[in-house]
């Protein structure tokens, strides 16, 4: 800990106590004003425990008055602190009226009530409601809300909040006055308010029981045509949840608002989702296939929260994965059903193997249910979300789809209207499965990435196959001791002359053996098919085994994974061999050529099979990351493939043609495969004109980005020309300029520093907009390993300066940005020193936010 910083105290899961007071009803009135919005809050309070004063959370509020049962209180009746208000004497039941002022215009943290351009909007998860009014701002206090919003009638045609609209009129001051009522009790973090002028897309959905739900999507004026894909996605999500889980929407109206300033992807506020506009707006010209995919999945995610999150919420924030892991799992299943299931799974696996494994190996390592939190915003992590989803997936694998679905049903019935825990969820699963899940529970409390070691022995004389598995979880920054977990290991046995066999092995000890009788030939074992558990795998494979799996495995994910493992091994050999070049087998080129010549019907899959693992995936396979050697090996092999396969790459590229842009599976795959070919071809000097042609001929953002990315990665001379053209063509579209910023910041050459500087002066760049900041600086720190990890430390320095500049404006975004620096221990001495210096510079500032403080101090400890 740096000397001039105060020790700040974390909260612990084990310290949980039930709320001393309940609130049955909240009546809120907002008189909107950019500088001074007046918030009047009337709370119906009931005491649950004797002898405690009423303590309410509140931050950055200007208190105007408090009245208890109609009686104004004076300063001897209460105590005001920086983040709380304590009322000393409160009866068993009472009505508390609190008036305060807030200043949305100056709220750059984007928590509480803030302005996104001219739009007023709120973000209350996790602890933002306390910036709106004094309240027990914790998820286990559920109340029924009535909300009145008053604002200038002309400038604010739409005044929105949760639930159903009760009334609307214009008052004598020319103010619009709208009242809302949400019949479902909810925690404060699900409260939302929006005021603005929008284009509105409307539609309706008839639920399975025949109720009509009005759907309303609010977007910036002029953007109406870009909203239809999101609205269609919403209807697909509503239908899917009915079909898969029998879950129906419960209000008569469902609203989604797109705003330009947002810290995260989107927010599931009851009946009034608020979205980062990046995850709503799309058309062929400005959005990529990936953007379309993200929109559908995030629209689904927020919709699915209505049951897993809203109807049943979390008891405390340590239980975050209860709603997030489960809802990510649900959105993944939805996406898998809407498009290519294999591709969805590959995406999920990549994320676990990069960001999540990195988090487990970092000073911020935590279980999916964290035990200690200083700043809750720091725990909206890939561990809680995505490893959390993997844990749910394992449960489905263990129980089977039907039992899992029954368990979910039981959990929702049992806890409807309540704030629940991860244990409640597991209990419901255990009850329907009649299976003891006590060892499985460890996945909730134990952090770290297990290493699974697999081996096989075949005894021809006895026709026996003996498989052995061992597990070991290395210690993490937060936990030294680890216990064996229950790990579902799906396998496939591939034979030469007979049909393959698939099995599910359960590993629940440190080491275990599995005997298979009547096996008449030695198989190749596909271990951990479909990535059946979030673990690292060490298996004895020969090159031939891996290529066989890549050709023949039933599971597409396993085929892709075999290629990833193949390359990981080759690169590892190259990294350790001193200078001598690792040879590639002829069989490899034959196989790759075969795929290029016959890309099959699943071209996206073929594209994945042809793609080398990226730097981040490889880096997680090393304790000490050999940055330079990894980068040079990747580029050597990429170059080699381009040279050796030039002809089939070219023919494949030329053979792939689509009609006018459509976001549709087959076309998506085709564009993806074409982009992969282009990327290799760009490595060869003769192919420079191809980049230009691809760019010029493109009628959609996916192809345009493919050309730009290929030019950027191959350091082609034409990159500067293309990116300049792109920037001028899209200079007025912020979401597309984000793509431009990201391309500029992730270019591997050292001109990147100057280029970033130039972009900071772009009229659309703003330090106050998280999308802009991330487009530049996350792209730089996460997708530009060459320059971020420069040995001279210039990359680290840039990130530290940026983080410090951002912290006073938006601590949440600043703390997310600092993440890559935390893992300094995983680099060579010289880089370690420079990364530490950057962190110390941050820690040395006297008034950094809790967000930054928690991460930086954990890292320097
Ligand atoms: N609960 C949101 C989601 O997962 C994420 C979020 C968290 C948004 C905190 C804003 C602030 O869907
Ligand atoms: Zn969520």
- Which residues make Cβ contacts (< 8 Å) with residue 559, sequence separation at least 6? 549, 550, 551, 552, 553, 605, 609
C-alpha 826/C-alpha 152 separation (Å) is 56
Mapping DSSP to helix (H, G, I), strand (E, B) and coil, where does residue 781 land?
helix
> Stretch 699-704: mean pLDDT, rounded?
98
C-alpha 844/C-alpha 846 separation (Å) is 6
What's 405's domain CATH number? 1.10.390.10
**pTM of the predicted model as reported, rounded to 2 decimal places:** 0.98
C-alpha 797/C-alpha 316 separation (Å) is 37
Start-to-end CA distance of the chain, whole Å, equals: 6
Candidate of 323, 380, 770, 810 to mutate for ligand 1, largest count of ligand atoms within 8 Å of Cβ = 380
Residue 599 lies in a domain: no
Expressed in angstroms and rounded, the spacing between residue 187 Cα and the centre of ligand 1 is 14
Residues 342 and 384 in one domain: yes
- DSSP string for 537-605: EEE---HHHHHHHHHH-SSHHHHHHHHHHHHHHHHHHHHHSSSPPPP--HHHHHHHHHHHH---S-HHH
Expressed in angstroms and rounded, the spacing between residue 273 Cα and the centre of ligand 2 is 11
Q: Is the CB of 324 under 6 A from ligand 1?
A: yes
Residues 243 and 385 in one domain: no
Q: Is the CB of 302 under 6 A from ligand 1?
A: yes
Residues 230 and 348 in one domain: no
User: Which one of the listed residues 111, 125, 296, 302 is annotated catalytic?
Assistant: 302
Q: Is the CB of 816 under 6 A from ligand 1?
A: no
Q: Is the CB of 698 under 6 A from ligand 1?
A: no
pLDDT band at 303 (very low <50, low <70, confident <90, very high): very high
C-alpha 114/C-alpha 83 separation (Å) is 19
Axis crossing angle, helix 734-745 with helix 718-729, rounded to the nearest 10: 160
Which pLDDT score, from 0 to 100, does residue 299 have? 99
Residues 206 and 330 in one domain: no
Quick one: which ligand is closest to 268's CA?
Answer: 1
Cβ neighbours of 99 (radius 10 Å) = 17
Expressed in angstroms and rounded, the spacing between residue 88 Cα and the centre of ligand 1 is 34
Mapping DSSP to helix (H, G, I), strand (E, B) and coil, where does residue 450 land?
coil
Which pLDDT score, from 0 to 100, does residue 450 have? 99
Determine the atom of ligand 1 nearest the C-alpha atom of 324: 4
Quick one: which ligand is closest to 325's CA?
Answer: 2
- Residue where a domain terminates, one of 426, 445, 464: 445
- Residue 325 tokens read as 């892991």
Expressed in angstroms and rounded, the spacing between residue 230 Cα and the centre of ligand 2 is 17
Expressed in angstroms and rounded, the spacing between residue 847 Cα and the centre of ligand 2 is 31
Determine the atom of ligand 1 nearest the C-alpha atom of 126: 9
pLDDT band at 7 (very low <50, low <70, confident <90, very high): confident
Residues 423 and 327 in one domain: yes
Nearest CA to ligand 1 atom 5: 267
Mapping DSSP to helix (H, G, I), strand (E, B) and coil, where does residue 779 land?
helix
> Stretch 454-472: mean pLDDT, rounded?
98
Residues 349 and 294 in one domain: no
Candidate of 112, 267, 294, 305 to mutate for ligand 1, largest count of ligand atoms within 8 Å of Cβ = 267
Residues 259 and 324 in one domain: no
pLDDT band at 857 (very low <50, low <70, confident <90, very high): very high
Q: What is the pLDDT of residues 528-548, one digit of tens each?
A: 999 999 999 999 999 999 999
Q: Is the CB of 138 under 6 A from ligand 1?
A: no
- Residue where a domain terminates, one of 304, 332, 347: 304
Per-residue pLDDT at 714 exceeds 60:
yes
Alpha helices in 305-436 (DSSP H): 320-338, 341-351, 357-360, 382, 388-399, 401-415, 422-433
Quick one: which ligand is closest to 265's CA?
Answer: 1
Expressed in angstroms and rounded, the spacing between residue 266 Cα and the centre of ligand 2 is 8
Residue 827 lies in a domain: no
Q: Is the CB of 266 under 6 A from ligand 1?
A: yes
Nearest CA to ligand 1 atom 2: 267
Residue 741 lies in a domain: no
> Stretch 758-765: mean pLDDT, rounded?
98
Q: Is the CB of 386 under 6 A from ligand 1?
A: no
Give how many domains the chain has, as a whole number: 3
Determine the atom of ligand 1 nearest the C-alpha atom of 262: 10
Expressed in angstroms and rounded, the spacing between residue 211 Cα and the centre of ligand 2 is 26
Nearest CA to ligand 1 atom 9: 125
**Cross-strand bridge partners of residue 99:** 40, 65
**Cross-strand bridge partners of residue 152:** 175
What's 487's domain CATH number? 2.60.40.1840
> Stretch 367-389: mean pLDDT, rounded?
98
Residues 425 and 484 in one domain: no
Quick one: which ligand is closest to 279's CA?
Answer: 1
Determine the atom of ligand 1 nearest the C-alpha atom of 380: 7
Q: Is the CB of 533 under 6 A from ligand 1?
A: no
Expressed in angstroms and rounded, the spacing between residue 733 Cα and the centre of ligand 1 is 25
Per-residue pLDDT at 819 exceeds 90:
yes
Which pLDDT score, from 0 to 100, does residue 1 have? 41
Q: Is the CB of 818 under 6 A from ligand 1?
A: no
Which pLDDT score, from 0 to 100, does residue 220 have? 98
Q: What is the pLDDT of residues 63-117, one digit of tens each?
A: 999 999 999 999 999 999 999 999 999 999 999 999 999 999 999 999 999 999 9
- Residue 452 tokens read as 């699974």
Expressed in angstroms and rounded, the spacing between residue 481 Cα and the centre of ligand 2 is 31
Which pLDDT score, from 0 to 100, does residue 532 have? 99
Q: Is the dihedral of CA 192, 181, 97, 37 positive or negative?
A: positive
C-alpha 540/C-alpha 735 separation (Å) is 46
Quick one: which ligand is closest to 329's CA?
Answer: 2
Count Cα neighbours of 67 within 13 Å in the Cβ-side half-sphere.
9
Question: 729-754 burial, b if ≥16 CB within 10 A, otherwise e?
Answer: ebeeebbbbbbbbbbbbbbbeeebbe
Q: Is the dihedral of CA 667, 670, 672, 675 positive or negative?
A: negative
Per-residue pLDDT at 6 exceeds 70:
no
* 240 contacts 334 by C-beta, under 8 angstroms: yes
Which pLDDT score, from 0 to 100, does residue 5 have? 45
Residue 338 lies in a domain: yes
C-alpha 279/C-alpha 230 separation (Å) is 8
Q: Is the CB of 129 under 6 A from ligand 1?
A: no
Q: Is the CB of 314 under 6 A from ligand 1?
A: no
The average confidence (pLDDT) of the chain is 97
Residues 423 and 461 in one domain: no
Q: What is the pLDDT of residues 129-153, one digit of tens each?
A: 999 999 999 999 999 999 999 999 9
Q: What is the pLDDT of residues 239-271, one digit of tens each?
A: 999 999 999 999 999 999 999 999 999 999 999
Q: Is the dihedral of CA 825, 827, 828, 830 positive or negative?
A: negative
Q: Is the dihedral of CA 332, 333, 337, 340 positive or negative?
A: positive
Q: What share of the chain is helix, strand, coil (3-state, %, to 5)?
A: 45, 20, 35
Nearest CA to ligand 1 atom 12: 267
Residue range of the domain that includes 476 = 451-533
Q: Is the CB of 176 under 6 A from ligand 1?
A: no
Which pLDDT score, from 0 to 100, does residue 580 have? 82
Q: Is the CB of 331 under 6 A from ligand 1?
A: no
Residues 268 and 364 in one domain: no
- Residue where a domain terminates, one of 504, 533, 562: 533
Q: What is the pLDDT of residues 172-216, one digit of tens each?
A: 999 999 999 999 999 999 999 999 999 999 999 999 999 999 999
Give Cα separations from 645 to 575, 590, 596, 609, 651 (angstroms). 24, 10, 9, 14, 10
Percentage of residues of the chain with pLDDT beyond 90:
97
Which pLDDT score, from 0 to 100, does residue 4 have? 42
Residue 600 lies in a domain: no
Residue 47 lies in a domain: yes
Residues 185 and 209 in one domain: yes
C-alpha 526/C-alpha 730 separation (Å) is 47
C-alpha 618/C-alpha 826 separation (Å) is 13
Residue 488 lies in a domain: yes
* 369 contacts 445 by C-beta, under 8 angstroms: yes
Q: What is the pLDDT of residues 328-343, one digit of tens each?
A: 999 999 999 999 999 9
Residue 590 lies in a domain: no
> Stretch 346-370: mean pLDDT, rounded?
98
Nearest CA to ligand 1 atom 3: 267
Q: How far from chain centre, in Å, is Cα 767?
A: 22
* 315 contacts 140 by C-beta, under 8 angstroms: yes
Residues 523 and 496 in one domain: yes
Candidate of 265, 306, 314, 770 to mutate for ligand 1, largest count of ligand atoms within 8 Å of Cβ = 265
pLDDT band at 686 (very low <50, low <70, confident <90, very high): confident
Query: Which H, E and C letters describe 805-844, residue by residue?
Result: HHCCCCHHHHHHHCHHHHCHHHCCHHHHHHHHHHHHHHHC
302 catalytic? Reply is yes
Percentage of residues of the chain with pLDDT beyond 70:
99
Determine the atom of ligand 1 nearest the C-alpha atom of 309: 1
Q: What is the pLDDT of residues 412-451, one digit of tens each?
A: 999 999 999 999 999 999 999 999 999 999 999 999 999 9
- DSSP string for 172-203: TTSEEEEEEEEEEEE-GGG--EEEE--EEEEE
Nearest CA to ligand 1 atom 7: 125
pLDDT band at 2 (very low <50, low <70, confident <90, very high): very low
Which pLDDT score, from 0 to 100, does residue 713 have? 96
Determine the atom of ligand 1 nearest the C-alpha atom of 128: 11
């Amino acid at each position: 800990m740096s000397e001039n910083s105060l020790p700040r105290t974390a909260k612990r899961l084990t310290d949980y106590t039930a709320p001393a007071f309940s609130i049955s009803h909240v009546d809120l009135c907002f008189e909107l004003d950019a500088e001074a919005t007046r918030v009047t809050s009337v709370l119906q309070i009931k005491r649950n425990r004797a002898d405690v004063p009423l303590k309410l959370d509140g931050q950055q509020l200007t208190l105007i008055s408090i009245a208890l049962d109609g009686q104004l209180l004076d300063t001897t009746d209460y105590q005001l602190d920086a983040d709380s208000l304590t009322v000393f004497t409160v009866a068993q039941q009472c009505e508390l009226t609190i008036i305060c002022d807030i200043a949305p215009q100056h709220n750059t943290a984007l928590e509480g009530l803030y302005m996104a351009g001219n739009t007023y909007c709120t973000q209350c998860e996790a602890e933002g409601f306390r910036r709106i009014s004094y309240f027990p701002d914790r998820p286990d206090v559920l109340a029924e809300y009535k909300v009145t919003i008053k604002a200038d009638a002309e400038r604010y045609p739409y005044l929105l909040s949760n639930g159903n609209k009760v009334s609307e009129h214009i008052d004598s001051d020319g103010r619009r006055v709208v009242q809302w009522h949400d019949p479902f009790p909810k925690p404060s973090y699900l409260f939302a308010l929006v005021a603005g002028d929008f284009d509105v897309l409307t539609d309706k959905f008839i639920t399975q029981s025949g109720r009509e739900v009005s759907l309303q999507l609010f977007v910036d004026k002029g953007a109406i045509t870009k909203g239809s894909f999101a609205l269609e996605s919403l209807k697909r999500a509503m239908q899917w949840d009915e079909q898969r889980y029998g879950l129906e929407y419960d209000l008569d109206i469902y609203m989604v608002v797109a705003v330009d300033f947002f810290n995260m992807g989107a927010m599931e506020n009851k009946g009034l989702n608020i979205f980062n506009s990046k995850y709503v707006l799309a058309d062929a010209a400005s959005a990529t296939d990936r953007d379309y995919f993200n929109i559908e999945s995030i629209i689904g995610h927020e919709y699915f929260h209505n049951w897993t999150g809203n109807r049943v919420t979390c008891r405390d924030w340590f239980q975050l994965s209860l709603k997030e892991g489960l809802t990510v799992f649900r959105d993944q299943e939805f996406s898998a059903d809407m498009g290519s299931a294999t591709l969805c799974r590959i995406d999920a696996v990549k994320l676990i193997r990069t960001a999540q494994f990195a988090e487990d190996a970092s000073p911020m390592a935590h279980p999916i249910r964290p035990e200690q939190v200083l700043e809750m915003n720091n725990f909206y992590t890939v561990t809680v979300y995505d490893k959390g989803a993997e844990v749910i997936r394992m449960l489905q694998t263990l129980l089977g789809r039907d039992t899992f679905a029954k368990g979910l049903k039981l959990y929702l019935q049992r806890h409807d209207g309540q704030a629940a825990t991860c244990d409640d969820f597991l209990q419901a699963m255990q009850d329907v499965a009649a299976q003891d899940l006590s060892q499985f529970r460890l996945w909730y409390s134990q952090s770290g990435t297990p290493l699974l070691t697999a081996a096989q022995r075949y005894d021809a004389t006895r026709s026996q196959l003996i498989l052995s598995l061992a597990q070991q979880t290395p210690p993490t920054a937060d936990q030294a001791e680890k216990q064996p977990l229950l790990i579902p290991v799906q396998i496939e046995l591939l034979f030469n002359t007979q049909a393959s066999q698939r099995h599910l092995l359960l590993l629940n000890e440190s080491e275990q053996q599995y005997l298979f009788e009547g096996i008449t030939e030695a198989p190749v074992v596909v271990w951990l098919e479909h990535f059946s558990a979030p673990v690292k795998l060490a298996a004895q494979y020969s090159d031939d085994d891996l290529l066989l799996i890549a050709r023949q495995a039933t599971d597409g994910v396993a085929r892709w994974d075999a290629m990833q493992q193949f390359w990981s091994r080759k690169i590892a050999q190259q990294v350790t061999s001193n200078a001598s070049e690792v040879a590639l087998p002829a069989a490899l080129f034959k196989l790759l050529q075969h795929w290029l010549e016959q890309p099959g019907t699943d071209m996206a899959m073929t594209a994945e099979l042809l793609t080398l693992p990226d730097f981040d995936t490889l880096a997680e396979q090393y304790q000490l990351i050999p940055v330079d050697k990894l980068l040079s090996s990747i580029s050597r092999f990429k170059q080699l493939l381009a040279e050796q396969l030039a002809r089939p790459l070219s023919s494949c590229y030329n053979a792939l043609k689509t009609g006018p842009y459509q976001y549709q599976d087959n076309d998506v795959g085709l564009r993806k495969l074409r982009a992969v070919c282009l990327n290799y071809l760009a490595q060869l000097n003769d192919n420079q004109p191809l980049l230009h042609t691809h760019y010029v001929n493109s009628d959609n953002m996916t192809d345009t980005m493919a050309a730009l990315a290929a030019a950027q990665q191959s350091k082609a001379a034409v990159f500067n020309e293309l990116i300049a053209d792109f920037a001028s063509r899209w200079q007025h579209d912020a979401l597309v300029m984000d793509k431009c910023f990201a391309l500029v910041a992730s270019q591997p050459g050292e001109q990147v520093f100057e280029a970033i500087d130039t972009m900071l002066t772009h009229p659309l760049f703003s330090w106050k907009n998280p999308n802009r900041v991330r487009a530049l600086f996350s792209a730089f720190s996460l997708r530009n390993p060459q320059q971020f990890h420069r040995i001279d430390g210039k990359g680290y320095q840039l990130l530290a300066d940026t983080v410090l500049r951002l912290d006073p404006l938006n601590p949440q975004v600043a703390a997310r940005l600092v993440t890559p620096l935390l893992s300094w221990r995983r680099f060579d001495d010289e880089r370690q020193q420079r990364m530490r210096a950057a962190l110390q510079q941050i820690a040395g500032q006297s008034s950094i936010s809790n967000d930054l403080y928690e991460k930086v101090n954990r890292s320097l400890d």
